[in-house]
Structure 1
Amino acid sequence: MRQLVFLLTAVALFPAWSQTVIDSSSLYISDLVKWEEFQRPDRSSATSALVAILALERDGRLAIASCWVRKGPDDRLRILYTEGFSLHSGTWKAADGHLAVRYRPIHISIPKVGESTEQYTEESWAYAPAPQEDRLAEWVRTANSRYVPLRNLGDVKQLGEAIQFYRDTAQNPK
C-alpha cells in the first residue's frame, strides 16, 4: 500500500517520469476473464476479475501487467492497483511470423519464495497480424494464454505512468 501511495505521489510530482507511451492500440487483455463477486467489510459488493494486460509498445518494449480490474458505470475497466499489481518488462520483435519476446519481473506485489527478478524469460508467441494499421495484432497467443485487443481501459495514461515508474525503479534501485 505504501508503494502505491509513493507511486501516485511521485507521478504527480515528477511528470517527466511519464516517458512510456502507451495508447489503447498497444494494449491486449487475456481473453478468458472470470468475473467474481467480492464483498469486503469496508466496501460494498463489487464484481472484479484477475487479468493479464500486454502492452506491445511501438518502440519494441513490452510490459505484462497482472492485476485485478473492475468495470465502471461507463463499462470501462479500472485497474485496482491496491488489490495487487505485478509487472514484467522487456522487449518484443516480429520474426518469421511470430513475436520473439524477452522479459523479466520488475515489480511483484506478493513475491513467491525464491523468485528472482533478475532472470529473463525468452519465448516465441504466435499472433495474427491486424487488418488495421493502428494495431500490431488481431490476437496474441503465449504459452499459457490468448490475448485480444483491450479497447475499454479507463485510464491508459495511468497504466503508462505505473509502467514507467516501475521500470525506472528497477533500473535505479535504492
Structure 2
Amino acid sequence: MSLGLEEGARLVDRALVRRKVDLPALRTAHARRARCHGAALAGRLLHLAEGGARSQAERRAHRLVRRAGLRGWRADVEIDLPGYGRAVGDMVFDAERVIVEVDGWAYHRDLRAFLVDGPRQSALVAAGWVVLRTHWYELHEQPDAFLRTLRRILASRTPSR
C-alpha cells in the first residue's frame, strides 16, 4: 500500500507537528532504507519537510511570500518570551517584529493547541510583536488578500532608516 505524495505529506506533517519524530531521525531512517520500495517518495517528502515548514499550509505560505518578493523572514524561529518561555514563530520577520502564524487543521483542532495559542499570542504581543494569523483556506482561496495584509503590516513596522 502506498500513501502517495499528498497523504504522505499529511502523515509527515502530523508526526512533525506532534513531535513524534524529528527531521534528523527521518533522514537517518531514509538513508538506511535508500534502496527500498518507497524510498523515492520518502525522499520527496523529506525535501518538502526540510524547507522549514511543518505543514502543507506553511509550505504554501512560504511559496506565496517568496513569489511576492518579500525578504527578511525565517521559518520556525524560537523566541524567548519573558514570563512565558519559548515560542516558535512559523514565519518571523525579525526587523519588523512581525510573526505570521499559519493555523493548520491538523494541529489547531485539539483542546491543547487551543489553550496554548491564546496565552502564547498574548506573550508575543506584550513583547512587542505583531502576530498575523492565516490559514489554509485564505492561502489557497484568497492569497492576494493575505499578501496585501502582510505587506501593509510590514510597511507599518519597517524601521526608520
TM-score, length of structure 1 as denominator length: 0.24
Structure ID, larger Rg: 2
Question: Relative contact order, CA 8 A, sep 6+: which one is greater?
Answer: 1
Give the structure with the higher percent strand.
1
TM-score scaled by structure 2? 0.25
